[in-house]
Structure 1
């Protein structure tokens, strides 16, 4: 790395090459691929080449036309990424849009708005704002307290939601816990342990979960509408409307729920 910093206060451009720290407080444009330690954008930044470095922090507006590879991407303003994104951590407090796949190796925290035109791979993601992924979401753990919309499949190990969820494909995880809030629509749900129910004695917000198929080993449902529920041990609490239940172990149905057909498949 070169041992000097680059700062743009008014209008300026940055040539391709290796830098130390880059700070844009006015209107700055990079003209090629950049390697650096830190990039800070407090004005308007446009990057017309690949960017590789340690940290990118955007407090103003930025657009990246090609791939970025960094340890941390922190967005407090507006950022558009037209290439692929690879980072160790992602923090969004403003608006983040990406046209291609994004990989977050460790932790993503979404407090603002994030829209990904393709897929997301992330080890752990926490959604307190709004997130839209227009292809598949792959994760280890996810915690939703805002809203998330996945147009493709949503697959991982542990899924927890106390927000609003839309999954147009399959939601699949070893363990799924959903506290109904608003109207959540999930095309299909599959997992080892699936729990959809309110927590606590007082219902602050009534919510519903709608699905065509719920399939798992242990299933507990409340405030859920579903065409087919298929599992080993199935418990239906109040507020459910189920067309058909197929089970191989035990079945318990609350009187305040409606079940059209119950089929025991024990050998």
Structure 2
């Protein structure tokens, strides 16, 4: 479906723009979008609150704190800071450094997160690369290749409070190739599964191979 855009919108400093369809939206400062928005590109340096869904045809790029009272979707989503979404997050490429919170789902082909995450629903990604910094929680994770371990650096510290305990808590993880560290899960299911240091897994189901580190804890291990 073709979208009829109506030009560009720009906020410098404090201000607001109406919801609607735009070629591009550029924000530098503190702003508010007063309704759902559909645009070709969205860029923000500062703080922004969107009262509704936000969809970008090409690029969503932000540095700062973004709050969306709906869903956030686009071809590419790139964030350095904090993204809090009342609905879900969807993009072909989703790259977050900082804090991601979603009351719904996260759906991507390529997902890369460095920092903390809190997702009430499912993370579904063909390739999920998650680097933990602090306490994280997700209901379920599914994908082709899943790699979860601690973040080796502290570039996220401006948006994530320092915490002594770094761990992901999740109900179910299911994928083809799974590598886990510092993860607490009820069930992990996959073809090739690596349970690394700091993991506590209730049940592991695997088809081809399973490796469990000596410092990891597993309950039931079943080859399908």
Give the TM-score normalised by structure 1: 0.75
Q: For 1:145-184, what aligned pairs fall within 5 Å after superposition?
A: 145-184=97-136
Question: Residue 75 of structure 1: CA displacement?
Answer: 1.1
Structure 1: gaps of 5 or more residues: 1-50
Using the TM superposition, name which of 91-100 and 55-64 deviates more: 55-64
Partner of residue 257 from structure 1, selected from 201, 216, 220: 216
Instruction: Name the structure 2 match of 1:15.
Output: none
Q: For 1:189-200, what aligned pairs fall within 5 Å after superposition?
A: 189-198=141-150
Question: Residue 198 of structure 1: CA displacement?
Answer: 4.0
Instruction: Name the structure 1 match of 2:75.
Output: 123
Partner of residue 202 from structure 2, selected from 243, 249, 253: 243
Q: Say which structure, 1 or 2, has more relative contact order (CA 8 Å, 6+ apart).
A: 2
Structure 2: gaps of 5 or more residues: 155-164
Instruction: Name the structure 1 match of 2:161.
Output: none
Kept in 2: contact 1:127–1:147 (CA 8 A): no
Question: Counterpart of 1:152 in 2: which secondary structure?
Answer: coil
Instruction: Name the structure 2 match of 1:40.
Output: none
Structural RMSD (CA): 1.6
Question: Counterpart of 1:129 in 2: which secondary structure?
Answer: strand
Partner of residue 224 from structure 1, selected from 179, 183, 202: 183
Higher strand share: 2
Bigger CA radius of gyration: 1
Question: Residue 101 of structure 1: CA displacement?
Answer: 1.1
Give the TM-score normalised by structure 2: 0.88
